A = this chain, B = another copy of it.
Amino acid sequence: MADDAGEAEEMTSICSGLVINIGTLNKKTIQSMFLAGKKSNMLGHPVVLDPVGAGASKLRTDTANKLLDEVKFTVIRGNISEIKTLAIGSGTTKGVDADVADMVTDETLDNVIAFAKEFSRKTGAVIAITGAIDLVAGENMAYIIRNGHPIMSKITGSGCMLTVMTAAYVASNPGSVIKAAAASVCAMGLCGELAFLKCKTAGGGNSSYRNYLIDEVYNLNAADLTRGAKYEVR
Contacts and interface: CB of A to CB of B under 8 A. Distances in A.
A56 interface: yes
A56 B205 contact: no
Contact of A28 (B24, B26, B210, B216): B26
Interface stretch (A6-14, A38-46, A132-140): A6-14
Interface string A36-58: 00000000000000000100111
Interface of A: 1-4, 6-7, 10-11, 14-15, 24-28, 53, 56-60, 94-95, 154, 204-208, 210-219
Contacts of A211: 204, 207-208, 211
A154 B217 CA distance: 12
A211 B53 CA distance: 27
A3 B53 CA distance: 13
A60 B7 contact: yes
| CB-based closest 4 A-B pairs | A205-B215, A205-B218, A207-B214, A7-B57
A2 B14 contact: no
A208 B204 contact: no
A60 B8 CA distance: 11
Contacts of A213: 207
A136 to B, nearest CB: 25
A28 to B, nearest CB: 7
A58 B14 CA distance: 13
B219 A215 contact: no
Contact of A59 (B7, B14, B216, B218): B7
Nearest to A93: B14
